[in-house]
Amino acid sequence: MTTLKAPYFEPRLRKDGETLCRFTASPKLRKLGFVTFDYYTDGPPLEPHEAQELGFAPSTTQNLPFTHPGRLMSVGEAVAAAHIVAKMIEHQLDNPQDETDIRLHAQAKPMNIDHLLDDYFETEEFNNLAPKTQLGYKSWAVLIRKYFGDQRPKALDEISIIETYWAARNSRGERLAYGAVQILRIVYKWGRSRSRKWKHHAPGIEWSGLKIPTPKPRVRVGTDEELDAIMLAAENPLKIHQLTGAKINEKRPSELLPRPSLADALMIALWTAQRQTDILLLTSPNLSRGRCALQQSKGGKFVSVPLMDPLKQRIAELKRRKMQRGWGDRPQIILTDVNGIPYQTKAATNTTFSSYFCRVRNLAAEICPSVADFQFRDLRDTALTRLGAAGCDIWEIISWSGHNPDTAMQVIKHYMAIDQSFADRAGEKLAKHLAKGH
């Protein structure tokens, strides 16, 4: 895209030699009553009252070089429009008679998308969501605030959203761009159907017509070799250093500290197919009468799966360790290995379970390089594929893991494509069928 020198000017989209440009209002200019706006030409003129509906202060709406969406501007037209706005801003600064209007405009909280997001995030509907979901929504909203924050909801249309999605996808990645569109859809629907304040300010966007492609799910299945390497790194890190001859960092003796709690969590994940948060929240009553029974923190589903012999043995060993350390009266199953407190599941510090797992995984990669990209959440996919390889049907699998059928099928389909045992078993069944004379 051509770099153009013009005040308050930002090229956004180039097509067939023409450019869609944006007037970018800095915080200082927003206080003067200006808002960010896209340049078009050959569209119907923008009336002053329409400009005010978009957020412009009344004193800024005379002789605006803006129109309703029309064709994209040529480079020369865009530069000329940007200079007109620059002169308007200079006039605004040089005319004290406009100060009252500017001040009143700055005092009122604008009915823009930033304000809409803030209102939604204060609702009971949002605050009843799982903490991890809330965090995800707010992270997606950062992108929406960047592109559309100071615009009125009515100013958005399907074309603007699609163009922004592709721009964000190219610069920030597919998943973040998709998430940004989803949070925009959520707050628009909330404002339109469940908020008296925003009911008439959120237009009816045809979301299904946007045809935003859904990102492909991450499917990563751990091999036995990879899981064994992680278990060894967690329980005997010194052995990894001995096998690889890696130099031990004397300034970080904690690198040699065994962390059997990570191996405990890995075993529970592998044999129950539950998420990290739910595993860290397990207490003794959840593991009783030969079953693992819990309500999932995401979605609220109840699951109850039998404790298989390898997991029963691991849990018995875990309880013996707790008793030996004097932690037998602590209800949580998974405790930190140094001081016996529950792992932090929300705080972004070096004491969280995830940070310790990453260290152990990186150490395991010294003897098994393929495990370098393995994440704890991949154990859930691994557990599903083990059930599928054991011959469980989809309904048995989702009753065990709590997945919805579509997600479980995506994981199993991916694994079937790389594991020949599924086809081998199908061949055996076909051979038996034919042997019966059918």
Alpha carbon dihedral 321, 324, 327, 331, in 10-degree steps, equals 50
DSSP letter at 216? P
Rounded to 5 degrees, what are φ and ψ at 345?
A: -105, -10
Higher pLDDT, 264 or 4: 264
CA-CA distance, 146 to 177, in Å (whole number)? 12
pLDDT at 292: 92
Check whether 224 has a pLDDT greater than 90: yes
Orientation angle between helical segments 378-389 and 260-272, nearest 10 degrees: 50
In this predicted model, what pLDDT tens digit does every residue of 175-200 receive, in sequence order? 888 999 999 999 998 988 888 788 77
In this predicted model, what pLDDT tens digit does every residue of 102-121 receive, in sequence order? 433 444 456 788 889 989 99
Among 9-23, 234-248, 413-427, top mean pLDDT goes to 234-248
Higher pLDDT, 224 or 217: 224
Averaged pLDDT score across all residues of the chain? 80
Higher pLDDT, 254 or 241: 241
Higher pLDDT, 407 or 337: 337
The 10 Å Cβ neighbour count of residue 317 is: 14
Domains, the chain: 9-107 (no CATH), 113-210 (1.10.150), 224-382 (1.10.443.10)
Rounded to 5 degrees, what are φ and ψ at 12?
A: -110, -35
CA-CA distance, 387 to 273, in Å (whole number)? 10
For 108-122, b/e burial (b = at least 16 CB within 10 A) is eebbbbbbbbebbee
Check whether 97 has a pLDDT greater than 60: no
Q: How many CA atoms lie within 13 A of 257 on its CB side?
A: 13
Mean pLDDT of 361-365: 93
In this predicted model, what pLDDT tens digit does every residue of 277-328 receive, in sequence order? 899 999 989 998 899 999 888 778 899 999 999 999 999 999 999 999 999 8
pLDDT at 305: 92
CA-CA distance, 396 to 388, in Å (whole number)? 9
The kind and range of the H/E element at 304 are strand 302-306
In this prediction, residue 94 has a pLDDT band, given cuts at 50, 70 and 90, of: low
pLDDT at 269: 96
DSSP letter at 256? G
Tokens 């809330």 locate to 134
Q: What percent of the chain clears pLDDT 90, i.e. is strictly above it?
A: 25
pLDDT at 1: 46
Closest-CA residue to 297 (of 87, 433, 128, 82): 128
